[in-house]
Amino acid sequence: MSIRFGLLALLESGPRYGSQLRVEFESRTGATWPLNIGQVYTTLGRLERDGLIVPEGGGDAKQQLYAITEAGQAELGDWYARPVDRTQPSRDELAIKLAMAVGAPGVDIRAIIQAQRRHTLKAMQDYTRLKARALAGGTDSRDDIAWLLVLEQLIFSAEAESRWLDHCETRLVRLAEGRPQPQRSASSQQTPGIPAASPAKSRGGVS
């Protein structure tokens, strides 16, 4: 969906070849979501089929200029005006993993959380490096600003995940502390983050 509208948005500035669209899409988003040329031509074919763009001039698809139609501009306007849907979230592997790990025998959920926290923070460190570099290089062009916004979206998303992981750990530790300790581990440290009973209730705890 985002490729379809991304290409329409680029065509609003004027007719372009497929190869140009690919380069400009990646330039605007810092190649964060690389496109292959096959995806570009497939999407252009669908946009043409739906009457949102028209080919200009002759030749095969690779040498074809495409221009946005009035219907395409209206569709693009609707896209800008419509909020991105968040009520049907895509499956999140991490949320599923933690939901499965709650109460699973032999699984140290705190270790899972820490491994993910390290990985997420590492990604944030890398994005922050790129951001500092982008800021130092100036934000004069539209591509520079667009790239900065994409980088900051990645940083804020990773930060949200990191905060959620902190929250999960705190909640699991509190839940575990509130439960009676199994006799065999009464003299040793509890296994953190693994509630002893009621997996249904525990699953609720990390949602």
Partner 1 sequence: MTRSPAPGTPVLELRDVTRVHGSGVAVVHALRGVGLKVFAGEFVAVMGPSGSGKSTLLTLAGGLDAATRGSVLVEGEDLGALGRAALAKVRRGRVGYVFQDYNLIPALTAAENIALPRELDGTSARVARREAQAALAEIGLSELTDRFPDEMSGGQQQRVAIARALVGDRRLVLADEPTGALDSETGEAVLALLRKRCDEGAAVVLVTHESRYAAWADRVVFLRDGTIVDESVSHSAESLLTDGSHR
By beta-carbon proximity to partner 1, the closer residue of 100 and 160 is 160
| Nearest approach, Cβ of residue 102 and partner 1 (Å) | 20
- For residue 80, the number of C-alpha atoms closer than 13 Å in the C-beta half-sphere is 8
- By CB under 8 A, tell whether 6 contacts partner 1: no
User: Which H or E element spans position 44?
Assistant: helix 37-49
Site string for partner 1, 150-189 (x = CB under 8 A): -----xx-xx--xx--x--xx-------------------
By beta-carbon proximity to partner 1, the closer residue of 16 and 28 is 28
Using CB under 8 A, pick the residue from 12, 13, 31, 185 that binds partner 1. Answer: 31
| Nearest approach, Cβ of residue 122 and partner 1 (Å) | 5
- Please report, as residue ranges, which positions from 138 to 157 form the binding site for partner 1 (by CB under 8 A): 147, 155-156
Could you tell me which of 154, 146, 148 has the C-alpha nearest to residue 133? 148
Q: Write down how long the chain is.
A: 207
Using CB under 8 A, pick the residue from 62, 97, 133, 142 that binds partner 1. Answer: 133
User: Alpha-carbon torsion 109, 114, 115, 117, what sign?
Assistant: positive
Using CB under 8 A, pick the residue from 9, 54, 94, 121 that binds partner 1. Answer: 121
Using CB under 8 A, pick the residue from 117, 139, 149, 181 that binds partner 1. Answer: 117
| Nearest approach, Cβ of residue 89 and partner 1 (Å) | 22
Which value, to the nearest 10 degrees, does the dihedral of the CA atoms of residues 203, 204, 205, 207 take? 90
CA angle 125, 129, 134 (to 5 degrees): 145
Strand, coil or helix: what is 56?
Answer: strand
By beta-carbon proximity to partner 1, the closer residue of 52 and 134 is 134
Phi and psi angles of residue 182, each rounded to the nearest 5 degrees, phi first? -60, 145
Query: Which residue is it, tokens 């395409």?
Result: 72
| Nearest approach, Cβ of residue 189 and partner 1 (Å) | 9
**Which residues does 77 contact at the CB level (< 8 Å), separation at least 6?**
none
Provide the binding-site residues for partner 1, judged by CB under 8 A. Answer: 26-27, 30-32, 34, 114, 117-122, 124-130, 132-133, 135, 147, 155-156, 158-159, 162-163, 166, 169-170
